[in-house]
C-alpha cells in the first residue's frame, strides 16, 4: 500500500502553489469558453465547414472520446498507475482539441486559394519556422528547454492563439469600418486591435506555461524562449493565411505566386525574428522576470510591463510601417529591409540585451551552485566538472569525446548526465532563493539520478 507523505517544502510558508493552479484553471476555462464561442460564431456567421474538414474533425472527436474514457478509468486504478493514465488522457484530449482547432484554422484562413496552394504555402513556411524554433531553443545556452514544451508553445501560437483572435478581430474591424473615417484614424484603430488582441492571445500561452510548468520555467531566458516560440507558431499560420489570400487575389492577374513569395520573404525570412517572435518574447521576458521576483506586486508589474512592451512594439509596426514609402523599383528592396530594421530593430535589440544579461545572470548563478554542490562531496558534481558544465563548448567537447569512445549512445548518455547535473544546479538555485515549491526530496531524487547516470557513463 502506498502511503501519502508530507515532505518539507523549500519555502514552507509559500501559499502560491494552490493559488497559481487556481489561476491556471480559471485562465484555461476562459480560453475554452472563448474558443467554443469563436467556433460557434465562425460556423454560424462566416460559412459552413466543408465536408473534408469534417473528416479531420472526426479524428479530433475520436481522440477526445478515447482520452475521456481513459480519464474516467484512471480513477479506478491504484495510485501508482493513475498518474500515467491521467497523462495519457490529457495528451489525447489535448491532441483532439488541437486537431479540432486546426480544422477551424484551415477552414478560416486558407480556404481562399484552395487546399493545394495552402499546403504548398505551409510547406514553404515549415523549414523557416523550424529553423527559427531551433535557433530560439539554442539561445538558452546554459539550460535548454525540452523540445516538447517549445513545440507546445509554437502549436499554441499557431492554432489556439489564431483561433482566439479571429472572432475578436472580425468584430473590432467590422465595428471600426462602420463607425470611423477611412484613413489614418481607422488604421490606428486596427493597429491597436492587432497589438492588443493578438498579444493577449499569444501571451496567455506563456502565462499558462508559467503557471503550470514552473519546473521548466526558470527565469527571463526561459520566458524569452517560450515567448518567441509562441510568436513563431503564430507567425507560421499568419504567413500561410496571408500567402494564400494574396495568391488568390493576384493569381488572375498572373502574379499570384510572386505576391505569395513576397509575403513569404517578408514574414518568414526578414520578419522571422523581428515580428511576432520579438513581440511575444517580451511577454515571456516579463513573465520570466516575475518568476524570480519576491513580491506579488512586483511579479504583477513585471508581467504587465512585458505585455505593454509587446503590444506597443506590435502596434508601432502596424500603425507606422506605412510611413516609410517603398518605391516600386530596385531601391524598394533596400527600403523594405531598412523599414524592418528601423521599425522593429530597436525592439529586437532591447530584447537581445535582456537575453544576454539574462544568460549571464543565469550562467553565473549556475556556476555558483555547481561549485556549492561539488563542495558537498556527495558525488553528483565533481570539482573538476564545474568548469566543463559552465561552458557550452566544453560540454560539447565532452560529449564528442564520449562519442569517440562509445559512439552515438555514449554521446547521448553524457548529454543526459550533463542535463541532469544542470537540472540539479538549477533546482539548488531556486531553492536557495526560496522560489520553488517542490519538496526537498525532489532535489535528492535529482542527485540520485545524476549518480545513477554517472554509473552508466562509467560502465
**Binding positions for other proteins, rule: CB under 8 A:** 112, 177-178, 180-189, 191-192, 220, 248-250, 252-253, 282, 285-286, 289, 292-293, 298, 301-302, 304-306, 308-309, 311-313, 315-316, 319, 350, 353-354, 357-358, 361, 364-365, 432-434
Q: How far is the CB of 176 from other proteins (least distance, A)?
A: 10
- Phi/psi at 9 (5° precision): -90, 160
In the bound state with other proteins, the residue whose beta carbon lies nearer, of 127 and 184, is 184
- Number of Cβ within a 10 Å radius of residue 242: 19
In the bound state with other proteins, the residue whose beta carbon lies nearer, of 237 and 311, is 311
Q: How far is the CB of 186 from other proteins (least distance, A)?
A: 7
256's grid cell? 499570384
269's grid cell? 525570412
CB 217 within 8 A of CB 143: no
- How far is residue 427's CA from residue 421's CA, in Å, rounded to a whole number? 10
Q: How far is the CB of 23 from other proteins (least distance, A)?
A: 21
CB 395 within 8 A of CB 418: yes
In the bound state with other proteins, the residue whose beta carbon lies nearer, of 293 and 442, is 293
In the bound state with other proteins, the residue whose beta carbon lies nearer, of 102 and 309, is 309
- How far is residue 284's CA from residue 452's CA, in Å, rounded to a whole number? 34
In the bound state with other proteins, the residue whose beta carbon lies nearer, of 335 and 432, is 432
Q: How far is the CB of 119 from other proteins (least distance, A)?
A: 19
Place of cell 473534408: 52
Q: How far is the CB of 224 from other proteins (least distance, A)?
A: 11
Q: How far is the CB of 81 from other proteins (least distance, A)?
A: 40
In the bound state with other proteins, the residue whose beta carbon lies nearer, of 271 and 358, is 358
How many degrees, rounded to 5, is the angle at CA 144 between CA 138 and CA 145?
Answer: 110
Radius of gyration from C-alpha coordinates of the chain: 24
- How far is residue 272's CA from residue 312's CA, in Å, rounded to a whole number? 18
Amino acid at each position: 500500500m502506498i502511503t501519502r507523505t508530507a515532505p518539507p517544502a523549500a519555502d514552507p510558508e509559500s501559499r502560491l502553489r494552490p493559488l497559481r493552479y487556481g489561476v491556471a484553471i480559471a485562465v484555461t476555462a476562459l480560453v475554452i469558453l472563448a474558443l467554443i464561442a469563436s467556433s460557434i460564431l465562425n460556423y454560424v456567421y462566416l460559412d459552413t465547414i466543408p465536408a473534408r474538414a469534417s473528416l479531420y474533425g472526426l479524428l479530433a472527436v475520436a481522440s477526445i472520446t478515447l482520452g475521456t474514457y481513459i480519464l474516467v478509468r484512471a480513477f479506478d486504478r491504484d495510485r501508482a498507475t493513475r498518474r500515467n493514465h491521467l497523462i495519457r488522457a490529457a495528451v489525447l484530449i489535448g491532441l483532439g482539441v488541437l486537431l479540432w482547432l486546426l480544422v477551424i484554422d484551415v477552414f478560416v484562413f486558407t480556404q481562399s486559394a484552395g487546399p493545394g496552394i495552402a499546403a504548398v504555402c505551409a510547406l514553404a513556411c515549415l523549414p523557416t519556422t523550424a529553423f527559427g524554433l531551433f535557433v530560439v531553443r539554442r539561445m538558452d545556452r546554459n539550460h535548454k528547454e525540452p523540445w516538447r514544451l517549445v513545440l507546445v508553445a509554437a502549436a499554441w501560437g499557431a492554432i489556439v492563439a489564431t483561433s482566439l483572435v479571429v472572432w475578436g478581430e472580425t468584430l473590432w474591424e467590422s465595428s471600426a469600418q462602420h463607425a470611423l473615417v477611412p484613413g489614418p484614424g481607422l488604421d490606428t484603430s486596427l493597429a491597436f486591435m492587432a497589438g492588443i488582441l493578438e498579444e493577449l492571445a499569444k501571451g496567455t500561452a506563456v502565462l499558462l506555461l508559467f503557471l503550470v510548468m514552473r519546473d521548466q520555467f526558470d527565469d527571463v531566458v526561459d520566458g524569452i524562449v517560450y515567448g518567441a516560440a509562441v510568436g513563431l507558431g503564430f507567425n507560421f499560420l499568419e504567413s500561410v493565411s496571408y500567402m494564400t489570400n494574396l495568391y488568390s487575389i493576384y493569381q488572375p492577374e498572373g502574379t499570384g505566386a510572386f505576391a505569395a513569395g513576397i509575403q513569404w520573404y517578408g514574414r518568414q525570412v526578414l520578419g522571422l525574428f523581428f515580428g511576432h517572435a520579438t513581440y511575444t518574447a517580451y511577454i515571456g521576458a516579463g513573465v520570466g522576470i516575475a518568476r524570480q521576483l519576491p513580491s506579488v506586486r512586483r511579479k504583477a508589474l513585471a508581467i504587465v510591463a512585458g505585455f505593454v512592451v509587446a503590444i506597443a512594439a506590435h502596434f508601432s509596426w502596424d500603425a507606422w510601417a506605412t510611413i516609410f514609402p517603398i518605391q516600386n523599383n530596385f531601391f524598394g528592396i533596400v527600403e523594405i529591409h531598412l523599414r524592418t530594421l528601423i521599425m522593429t530593430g530597436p525592439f529586437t535589440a532591447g530584447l537581445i540585451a535582456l537575453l544576454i544579461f539574462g544568460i549571464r545572470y543565469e550562467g553565473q548563478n549556475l556556476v555558483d551552485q555547481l561549485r556549492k554542490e561539488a563542495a558537498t562531496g556527495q558525488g553528483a558534481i565533481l570539482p573538476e566538472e564545474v568548469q566543463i558544465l559552465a561552458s557550452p563548448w566544453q560540454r560539447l567537447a565532452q560529449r564528442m569525446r564520449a562519442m569517440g569512445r562509445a559512439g552515438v549512445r555514449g554521446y547521448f548518455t553524457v548529454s543526459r548526465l550533463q542535463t541532469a547535473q544542470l537540472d540539479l544546479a538549477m533546482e539548488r538555485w531556486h531553492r536557495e532563493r526560496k522560489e520553488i515549491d517542490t519538496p526537498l526530496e525532489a532535489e535528492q531524487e535529482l542527485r540520485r539520478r545524476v549518480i545513477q547516470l554517472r554509473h552508466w557513463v562509467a560502465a
